[in-house]
A and B are shown apart, each in its own frame.
Chain A
Amino acid sequence: MGLLIGMRQLGRDLASQKLRTFLTAFGIVWGTAAISLLLAFGEGFHKQILVNSAGLGENIVIAFPSLTSIPFEGLGKGRRILVDEEDIDLVEKGLAGISGEYADTFKLLYNTRTLPVDVSGVRPVFGDLRNLIPQEGGRFVNALDELDKRRVIFLGNELAKEIFGSTEPVGKTVMLLGSPFTVVGVLKEKTQDSSYSGRDKDKAFVPGSTFRALTGAKYVDNLIFKATGTDATEGLKADVIRVLAGRHRFDPSDKEALQMWDTTEGFKFIDTFMLAFRAFLGIVGSLTLIVGGIGVSNIMNVVVEERTREIGIKMALGARAGSILRQFMAETMLITIFSGAIGLLLAAAICAVFPEGFREFVGKPVISPSVGLLTAGLLGLIGFLAGYFPARDASRLDPVVAMKL
């Protein structure tokens, strides 16, 4: 019965102090929702950056052979450096993978449709390096294709949709450079935040050998390679330059002859950036928590005067100090649990209605319930401590003093 009476009194007290209850609850709701959202977006953003960056390929280096900018061993500057398959075979040792890329734009025919397409001739390993994952039922260019100069083609997902609509492309034949090519795979949809020659979803890939045989191309447009580990990248870049510089006689310190885009630098930057970003979120979160805590404790404090009188009256009517304090604790806990839950739900709701369109840039926010609960708990604790001590002091006063305060 004691509990029942306690609950009844609790409900009545909360209802009778609507403003106080509302303000306290609001402080906790706001704090919980704000911090949950902050961390949710931070987490989503981080994941999305990683996904987007991986769209190009993870920890790859892209090298573009171009013109020398420094005279070397009696040769003038401005010489074009031309890299062929022989060069690639020569530097392949010690790398996790390397592929040349021959690129051009051709007319592609299917049924009555004709459209210009950026086509790349590549080695099979290119698919792994550049994260070109085929949709179910398809595959990327393989070693036999390369060896036998097969006329097979791998299509970007947008391109496939443009050519075939809702028809299944794998196994169909398209015309390219006057020759029939069999579609062997379609790119699985991926997000890609950077590129050097258009997005993969709009491109087509054929075996490098086939490309060379049909077009007569001899020199690569660019090279893609990857070290076995991130730490090895710097050394391997130097190795590649040293070997090619020896063969083609250019100064190894010539930055222009073989321009390199090292994406591992981007990943390193992302790591540093995310560390800073998390520190920033942590500071903002802590401040939000402090501000919320101050708000909650302020509200608790503001009502102490009124509470003291109320406690004095109740004591004069025969209430025990223990039951008054227990009620106060129950009150704070109820508000905390209730508001914490609302705050979490609010954050979850905001995440749920967060427009799909933005996800490519900031990712899908991920709510962490433990962070939300921790936040609500902390705010509740602050509010509790802020209200508990004055309430305890009041219950220790002589009722006649408490009533006159």
Chain B
Amino acid sequence: MYVLRMVLRNAFRHRLRTLLTIAGLTVAVLAFGLLQTVVGAWFAGAEAASNARLVTRNSISLVFPLPLSYQARIRSVEGVTEVAYSNWFGAVYKEPKNFFAQFAVSPNYLDLYPEFVVPPEQRLAWLRDRKGALVGRQLADEFGFEVGDLLPLQGTIYPGTWEFVVRGIFEGADETKVTRQMLFHWDYLNETLRKTTARRADQVGVYVVGIDSPDNAAAISQRIDAVVANSLAETLTETEQAFQLGFVAMSDQIIGAIRIVSYVVIAIILAVMANTMAMSARERTAEYATLKALGFGPGFIVALILGESLAICAIGGGLGLALTTPAAEMFKAVVGNIFPIFQVSSTTVVLQAAAALTVGVLAAIVPTLQAARVRIVDGLRAIG
């Protein structure tokens, strides 16, 4: 208790300096947490994706479609339990800023996505209505969609005005599931294309493949690709997670830069903190020399300096940690739909705490060594 009291009183001897350092630490730990959360949010969709589902796309590029006829061929592959398909629709709801994902999907699509929970009567209503649409809870909440609403979209990839009726709202099985998308019947799209641009009909964007076991994913992927090898539209099959990570990889450098910035912030506050501790220790050289003269060993001096550094970092880091979640909520409100999932993970909290602890320890190293090494007679002369 005695030493703790001494440590805390020492920490606030220069109140302004300590408060400014604490403020810096708070901001740094907060910024670190937010940047880590941004990185986490970027990967959230991919991490939530399944390893038990495969995605088969055109091997040249995702922008090239695959023939509808592949469904039966993929279904025949050993280990495949279900085959659904979807097309990216990419239409605009009222204004371009109201972006959200829309997929034209096969009727069995939801069978492969048990994480999207739709009330049975709503799913039935959707299946019965060719123009019916299912919207996710996040999307419904954002735009105020309700069952029965008319939902007009302005096509971009598929020109024209498209009208849908909201027949159901699906929930995520847990809070990590993104439900900010709309699903509608692939048949509705295909029938329209047959009438307007027949050459684009009977083609799908990707096949979603259910398999008997995630352990067999690699082998089944190879078998699927082998089935259509040497055809005009060869395929590339991978797990859904790998498929999603492929998207994230496109922005790999941005993510890398954000990660680096988050660590630079910690490095900067480490320099600030080290400077604070060095100044404090230098001013107290005579006190440390006095303690040594009284018989206290270097360990006591180390405890005082390290304790003070850790106390300041604990306060600053603690405040930063406490402010991260409210700040993340504000950040999410500001950036809107860029990150459907923007939650401060427990890993981020641990990283923040570890960063504050590391700063506390590292900042104390040099002043501790200097104070422990100083000769008593030299230290006593440090008095004015």
A complexed with B = no
Question: What residues of chain A have their CB less than 8 Å away from a CB belonging to chain B?
Answer: none
Question: What residues of chain B have their CB less than 8 Å away from a CB belonging to chain A?
Answer: none
